[in-house]
A and B are shown apart, each in its own frame.
Chain A
């Protein structure tokens, strides 16, 4: 599975958005657009991504820009995977 598909899978499971996950594209806005994505969900999403991809997210990495769109989140994960 590609990183994009896997991030979508983690998003779907963590936020319980069901079939709405099928409509997610690179430019889909996350923060402010998905009601389930409150501060607790953001923290859980980061943990879920860390565990799923076996990466470590430094707290300095966490910014509003990372969660702006689905694409920005995937880019972030891809960068971490290369590290």
Chain B
């Protein structure tokens, strides 16, 4: 496992590279694109576990800390969708020195939204990608995140008088940053995400997609929203393999828990595609 910095337009972004053991050949590179804020912190153990599983199976894995997160330069408040997408491109370019084949983005939650939008703009980036529990709609996602602030004021643990969602969006429009759960959300970042929606994104037909999500239903099934997006993509000619797995929503949990069914299924689908 090698830690180092990649030079991106925004600055130095921190990366961890897991190579397959014993000098084995790299089947393909996998590039992990992280989720938003606290979701990443709560997922680290699962992400690293999965990266090691991939490495054991012959894949090299690059785990990225996007600008303003983890050990990368910058502050969260300065981050934008544009900066983050340029970070992803910088990582893809770095990986070219290790393999002729393009890397496989493994994008989680809001990372999936960033990546889907990016491959629409740059279809040659890759020929396949893994989407982990994709955030479907950026505006809804930001609104859900802003709920934390509403909840904080509601639970009386904040000194401000209770705002409404309208007030919060108005603050952003007015150029104010929002401090939410220890993260500074800038108007630019919120607007960037609000403009992204998976249903509106046309995934190039040259890219095959593995879509995995977690279900609490028995038997496991995709959410209606996800199924709808997948149908739209398939109707456009995109090859999508989707799977719903019974497991825990590990990125939401305070105390770390493993998601072994989810991880195993992911490796399974990856190996099937690249056999």
Q: Mark A residues whose CB is within 8 Å of B.
A: 9-10, 13-14, 16, 31-32, 36-44, 46-48, 51-52, 54, 59-60, 62-64, 67
Contact = CB atoms under 8 A, between A and B. Distances in A.
B1 interface: no
Nearest to A57: B147
A56 B151 CA distance: 17
Contacts, number: 70
Contacts of B159: none
A39 to B, nearest CB: 4
Given A14-B252, A40-B181, A59-B150, A54 B224 contact: yes
Contact of B157 (A39, A44, A47, A62): A39
Interface size classification for chain B: 20 to 34
A39 B150 CA distance: 8
A59 B165 contact: yes
B143 A43 contact: no
Contact of A39 (B148, B164, B249): B148
Nearest to A58: B165
Contacts of A40: 38, 148, 151, 181
B155 interface: yes
Contacts of A51: 223
A13 B252 CA distance: 10
Given A14-B252, A54-B224, A59-B165, A42 B154 contact: yes
Contact of B216 (A13, A32, A42): A13
- Nearest 3 pairs of A and B residues by beta carbon: A39-B152, A42-B151, A59-B165
Contacts of B98: none
Interface of B: 38, 143-145, 147-152, 154-158, 164-165, 181, 216, 223-224, 248-249, 252-255, 257
A41 B151 CA distance: 9
B155 A62 contact: no
A39 B248 contact: no
A60 B144 CA distance: 13
Nearest to B143: A59
Given A16-B254, A40-B38, A40-B181, A62 B249 contact: no
Nearest to B153: A39
21 contacts: A10-B216, A13-B249, A14-B252, A16-B253, A36-B254, A37-B155, A38-B157, A39-B149, A39-B151, A39-B152, A39-B155, A39-B181, A42-B148, A42-B151, A42-B154, A43-B147, A47-B147, A51-B223, A59-B143, A59-B165, A60-B165
B252 A64 contact: no
B151 A43 contact: yes
B155 A64 contact: yes
A47 B155 contact: no
Contacts of B151: 39-40, 42-43, 46, 62
B164 A59 contact: yes
Indicate the member of A10, A16, A54, A63 with the most B CB atoms within 10 Å. Answer: A16
A15 to B, nearest CB: 8
